[in-house]
Structure 1
């Protein structure tokens, strides 16, 4: 038995196994208790953090609500201010329009009662165009007066022509062609003043530029003529 070896092992007693078993159980118990402790601590910390965030959220929600209410109030206030300003502007425009109309009428009657020294007899006092933005049917108003001494009635007729361009070509239309007029619509007979007015129907694509007005009396011992040119957009 020259190649054989003898191996001696120490046989562990039952007490040794029990001891190690107790050590392992203790270690497991310590780990479990420590885990529960740290888990509870983390949970408490998480609860505190959640409570803090909840309080912050309430603060932000309150601040947001306040800002939103302020914004609504400011918006409403701005609307009211804007409406008031707009109403004020409209009122001023309306009053200015009334004032301009009254001033125009005042000048008109002053010219009749006390005309300029160089004006005598038949006079073209005013000519206005009122355009309609929705349709191509403007209205016109011509005012004829007798300047100076109104000792006689003036009778006659007036010829109105409209100059402009149609498709880039110069065109001239008589007002009689631009509406449902009759000859009597352009006749006058007055001592102080007379209005001649109506509605025009312009050709499609026509660009109006100028109105030429010529009024003539007839039946007088010395007939009179009044002429005037008015820019369409003046």
Structure 2
């Protein structure tokens, strides 16, 4: 490193002369300038490439954002249409329910005149359904009770369900409470407009059912008189009022 300290302008001037020293300095400056230009050019190209890549990424993000906005708008339109359809359907259901209730009122009026035994204090057995299951002798039962007259009071009572048929070639009656988990509490009702009572039962192996007896029993209470409504239906036939 000591030889660098010995290099001075005066020694270079004495050794190479003024002209050679000028030429060498100019050449050195040219080399430095070329290297600086190449370095700057490389950096500029690198910057341009980075900017282009970022621009492409940004363009892709813009496209994805536009697609997402389009999908959101489509979903919002579909949701609005579905809500409108649901509102119209609910309005239609309410209209049907109102019409159904009006028909029930008219039916109740005529039944009071023509068949008073088919209703008890405005209560009717609107529907009885028996459906077979995949298990032998195992069935589902569904009973719908309806109060045809508008009332602020609840109709309260319980059902009795029996099956008439034959057992070992002899007439027999089977109570549903003896062949299912439907006890008196499960068969009880308390409703203002309608109530559905349903469950499952298993008939004895040798029992051949022929008809179903359904009774709605309303005991005397503070707000209701004692009534009993009896209906009989063929086996596995559905009854709808």
- TM-score for both structures, normalised by structure 2: 0.49
For the residues of structure 2 that align with 1:179 and 1:224, how far apart are their CA atoms?
26
Deviations 1:15-51 (A, max 9, x none): xxxxxxxxxxxxxxxxxxxxxxxxxxxxxxxxxxxxx
Higher alpha-carbon deviation: 156-165 or 146-155: 146-155
| Larger of the two Rg values belongs to structure | 1
The CA deviation at 1:109 is: 7.4
Provide the C-alpha distance between the structure 2 equivalents of 1:108 and 1:225, rounded to a whole number of angstroms.
27
Q: CA RMSD in A?
A: 2.3
Q: Which residue of 1 aligns with 2:110?
A: 118
Deviations 1:131-167 (A, max 9, x none): 1244211100000110122332100111111101111
Cα offset, 1:114, TM superposition: 3.3
- Residue equivalent to 2:138: 137
- 1:7-86 equivalent positions in 2, closer than 5 A: none
SS in 1 for 2:197: strand
How many aligned positions are there? 129
Contact 2:131–2:236 (8 Å) recurs in 1: no
1:226 aligns with 2:229: yes
Give the match for residue 180 of structure 1: 181
Which deviates the most, 110-119 or 131-140? Answer: 110-119
In the alignment, which residue of structure 1 is the partner of 2:73? none
- SS of structure 2 residue aligned to 1:183: coil
| Aligned-partner Cα distance in 2 for 1:161–1:109 | 34
Q: Which runs of 4+ in 1 moved over 4 A?
A: 106-111
Q: How far did residue 177 of structure 1 move?
A: 0.7
- Can you give the 5+ residue segments of structure 1 that lack an aligned partner in the other structure? 1-105
CA contact (8 A) 1:162 1:173 kept: yes
1:156-175 correspondence to structure 2 within 5 Å: 156-175=157-176
The alpha-carbon distance between structure 1 residues 205 and 110, as it changes in their structure 2 partners (threshold 3 A), is: farther
Contact 2:133–2:139 (Cα < 8 Å) also in 1? yes
Distance 2:124 2:100 in 1: 10
Distance 2:171 2:144 in 1: 28
Question: Counterpart of 1:176 in 2: which secondary structure?
Answer: helix
